[in-house]
Structure 1
Amino acid sequence: MKKSDRLVITASSLGTVFEWYDFYLYGSLAVFFGTLFFPKGNDTAAFLASLATFGAGFAVRPFGALIFGRIGDLVGRKYTFLITIIVMGLSTAFVGLLPTYEDIGILAPILLTFLRLAQGLALGGEYGGAATFVAEHSEPDKRGSSTSWIQTTATLGFLLSLGVILTCRLYFGENEFKAWGWRIPFLVSVILLLISVYIRLKLHESPLFLKMQSAGKLSKSPLKESFAKFQNLKIVLLALFGATAGQGVIWYTGQFYALFFLQNTLKIDFQYSYILISASLIIATPFFIIFGKLSDKIGRKKVMMTGCLTAALAFIPIFKGLTQFGNPALSAAVQSSPIVIYSNNCQKDCKDLKDYLSKKGYNYAYQAISQEGLMTRIGSIEVKNFDTVVFDTVLAQAGYPAKANINEINFPMVILLLTILVLFVTMIYGPIAAFLVELFPTQIRYTSMSLPYHIGNGWFGGFLPLIAASVVVQTGNIYAGLYYPIAIALMTFIIGTLFIKETKDNELDRH
């Protein structure tokens, strides 16, 4: 690899790592934000509200793709993703300065949501610029390999956020961290912003963009050319439903939802859940490069579709394995003493009980009965009405643990299962940047590739934690949240296999 190519990849990747770090801090701290920025009184509702705010940043990512994609196709790749990283860095720093609900009331979640929206807009413009910039500098037979470095950045940014948070939580202690120490990881983004801007100012504009600019062939209306022409719109839709939607749900299941599952369902202490996730990320991250290189040889489509299918088939067995090896007592209690709620009007009678069981991460089923009142069977024990003290006692007698016993966690097996989840991510995410860049002509590439990527990741993937958690609360099945990513991954596999052509031999310098 030439020195100039290494500079392009390093500068683009490093800045994108920092931008993902900024964006994912909120997700890593979502368990705290429910109590910090939302009204107290219902912990489940507050947690779901914090996940909804997390999802809001993803909701606007496609709009960021349109805004900054257009600028990138009109003005240039380099200066566009300079703007995006500045917006991201400042928005993240302001989260670290934001007063809580206790300080300013309802204004706190409003301001938090506004900053998440700003982050989402910025990220919507960042990824397309970085991927396009690197691909347009790369040799044709190494585009998968070169752009796969960009693909590592989301995972590395997530890993960096976990590392900084873990360090702060251990250094300050839980009480200090909850009180004010959570702000430090957000404020650190100012330092990362300065480094990123300094490095990116050293880059030169994409040679393909400069060539088209000098020839006067730049698009005058990237949005119209991208989405008003049926031929290009069809490719955008195929890219969304046949690639990025499945990639988005696999990414967020394998990393974010896995973290939520360890902490909120299996009740594994934060330091151990962070270590487990981090270990799996470290082990699996090189496979982004491996699968990117493989896609240069056998094609993007084969690697990506294999990842979609295997992930869809393996999600439920893997998460059941995480329960078995991460919290054996919970796994045993679910088998030996299932929880069944009986009521003739569960919407009225069961709300507090469902919130209680969901917060504890316990499986439960519901059966309608004719007589009025609420009754719950825990194994062979029947409990009438709902009283937390009584339920705490009965559940403990039935073997349900309040939290995971660290001495019972099978660390090697949990890390292995988490690593397999991340390997699914690397299979589809490693080649996808090259795949998207190769689909579209140069003059509208930034705009056209950014929109399906950010709808797939921002909407299909970004709302996954909220959708999955809501399904679990409604059904009482701790694995029911996985039905959503499984369905989307299978949809992508079918559409991608039947309707998308291989792209690895496509010329980038085309109109």
Structure 2
Amino acid sequence: MSELTNPVQAPPTAVADAPTFDPRIARRAVMSGTFGTALEWFDFAVYGTLSATLFPQLFFPSFDANTAILASFATFGAGMVARPLGGIVFGALGDKIGRRNVLMFTLVLMGASSVLIGLLPSYAVAGILAPTLLVALRFLQGFALGGEASGVQVLVVEHAPTDRRGLFGGILATGSPLAQTFASLTLTGLATFLSKDDFASWGWRVPFLMGVLLLVVGMFIRRRVEETPAFKESQKKAAESAIPQERALAVIIKKPGTVIKLVLSWAASTGLFWISVTYAVSYLTKQLHYDNSITFGLLLMANLISIPAAFFGGRLSDRIGRKKTFLIGLAMQGIAAGTMFPIMNSMNYPASAAIIAFALCGIQVTAGTQAAFFSESLPTTMRYTGSALGMTMAGLIFGAPIPFVAAWIFQNTSNGTLALTCIGLGLVLISVIATLSLPERYKQSLHQQH
């Protein structure tokens, strides 16, 4: 973090940034963004894990075991379906009225939805109302995250100097594995020290209710962050030239090819993330009969190991470029996709932990690069909306269906691991092709219009 305190100097080959960057405000933006990212992904991680283990029994007990797991994964997908809508709504608002104000609202909405999930009655108490409310709150969670995830990336990258946008984005990306680690640690501790009945009765609620404290701290940090220099400059130029602002979804009309490439470039990372984190939990517990506490512990180790990879990816991309770094992460994901299930089927616990950790490291290398890579592909007036669409549509198309599709494949085919391996490798190939077609602008100022 010491790099953030040094005087900001653009490299000789870079175009000098128009505004003057304040290192103090930049540090505050990174802290705010990382904390907000951790809060949102903590809630998503907890839900994803519980949807694979406990929620089928709590909210869908009237179904048989196979149908219950499919229904549970479908509620998980509801949050992913809502993300593109949130990305469009909050992205348009962020490009029109500013990043900071929009991100205050998304943080509150995300935290409130999570707390309410922790207060939900089970099916045994409220009947069909319980899963109905669960789906509604999951939708609100996803709606908020659709605007939050890309918004904090744009906020942080636009506060960064040209030669450290990757570094800033890499620090921000550590929020996700930190959240995954904290979520796994929390669930592992609860599953270890509570009886199965206590965990099913009230223990699972604890992580969601913790959102109250996290929300208060997050709001305190975020309200001290200023609007970004790039957005201020864009607004100033628009006022001086009397040019009307871009329409809310102008990026779809003017940059459709770029948006599609961003979606496809993120396909492997989002798809393999849910294979590694969400479906792997179900597979290890349901198919290989690992105990819940052992599975949670495995994910804890894997996520802990992957944290430095996000920082490494962002910093490396400042040196060799976004595309090369992104492709390194995708190569790691390809290796993991081809070997994950054979290794897990060996019932070797250390090897299973290692391959999931390797997969997450590959994902975090791309995640550490992605904030700067996506932001540099779009002009300021379309950056929030376009980045949000790239991330959220990838999640909807390539991420949300994965747990459901994987569960269906294993229930209806004789060789589900092979099918899921082929899906993973196919996603990697799609992302490699899309990444190669995107522009490389890591030395250009964000204030240049593309």
Would you say same fold, with TM above 0.5?
Answer: yes
- 1:439 pairs with one of 359, 362, 377: 377
Assess if the C-alpha contact under 8 Å between 1:249 and 1:485 holds in 2: yes
1:310 CA drift (Å): 4.0
Distance 1:433 1:474 in 2: 38
Assess if the C-alpha contact under 8 Å between 1:88 and 1:123 holds in 2: yes
Distance 1:495 1:77 in 2: 28
Distance 1:55 1:280 in 2: 23
What do residues 84-142 of structure 1 show as CA deviations (whole Å, max 9, x unaligned)? 01001111111111112122222211111000000000000001110001101111111
Counterpart check, 1:235 vs 2:252: no
Assess if the C-alpha contact under 8 Å between 1:222 and 1:443 holds in 2: no
Assess if the C-alpha contact under 8 Å between 2:59 and 2:130 holds in 1: yes
1:224 CA drift (Å): 3.3
Runs (5+) with no aligned partner, structure 1: 327-408
Counterpart check, 1:225 vs 2:246: no
Tell me what 2:368 maps to: 430
User: How do residues 39-438 of structure 1 correspond to structure 2 at under 5 angstroms?
Assistant: 39-216=61-238, 220-229=245-254, 232-241=255-264, 243-326=265-348, 409=349, 411=350, 413-438=351-376
Distance 1:221 1:37 in 2: 45
Calculate the aligned-residue CA RMSD, in Å: 1.8
Tell me what 2:20 maps to: none
Assess if the C-alpha contact under 8 Å between 1:247 and 1:456 holds in 2: no
TM-score normalised according to structure 1 size: 0.79
- 2:424 pairs with one of 456, 470, 485: 485
The one-letter code matched in structure 1 to 2:395 is N
The one-letter code matched in structure 1 to 2:346 is Q
**Which range is displaced more, 164-173 or 442-451?**
164-173
What do residues 3-48 of structure 1 show as CA deviations (whole Å, max 9, x unaligned)? 3322211111012101111222211111211111124240110011
TM-score normalised according to structure 2 size: 0.90
Distance 1:465 1:96 in 2: 22
Assess if the C-alpha contact under 8 Å between 1:222 and 1:447 holds in 2: no
Distance 1:96 1:165 in 2: 14
**Which range is displaced more, 486-495 or 52-61?**
486-495
The one-letter code matched in structure 1 to 2:404 is L
Distance 1:83 1:132 in 2: 16
Counterpart check, 1:503 vs 2:441: yes
**Which range is displaced more, 56-65 or 31-40?**
31-40
Q: How many residue pairs are counted as aligned between the two chains? A: 423
Runs (5+) with no aligned partner, structure 2: 6-23
Assess if the C-alpha contact under 8 Å between 2:332 and 2:358 holds in 1: no
Distance 1:180 1:275 in 2: 20
Counterpart check, 1:22 vs 2:43: yes
What do residues 422-476 of structure 1 show as CA deviations (whole Å, max 9, x unaligned)? 1221232220111001000011110111101111123311321111121121113
Distance 2:171 2:247 in 1: 27
What do residues 384-415 of structure 1 show as CA deviations (whole Å, max 9, x unaligned)? xxxxxxxxxxxxxxxxxxxxxxxxx4x3x333
The one-letter code matched in structure 1 to 2:259 is V
Distance 2:314 2:247 in 1: 28
Give aligned-pair identity as a percent. 31
Assess if the C-alpha contact under 8 Å between 1:472 and 1:481 holds in 2: no
What do residues 234-283 of structure 1 show as CA deviations (whole Å, max 9, x unaligned)? 11111112x11122113223333333332222221111111111112112
Assess if the C-alpha contact under 8 Å between 1:245 and 1:455 holds in 2: no
Assess if the C-alpha contact under 8 Å between 1:98 and 1:112 holds in 2: yes
Assess if the C-alpha contact under 8 Å between 1:312 and 1:487 holds in 2: no
Distance 2:69 2:425 in 1: 24
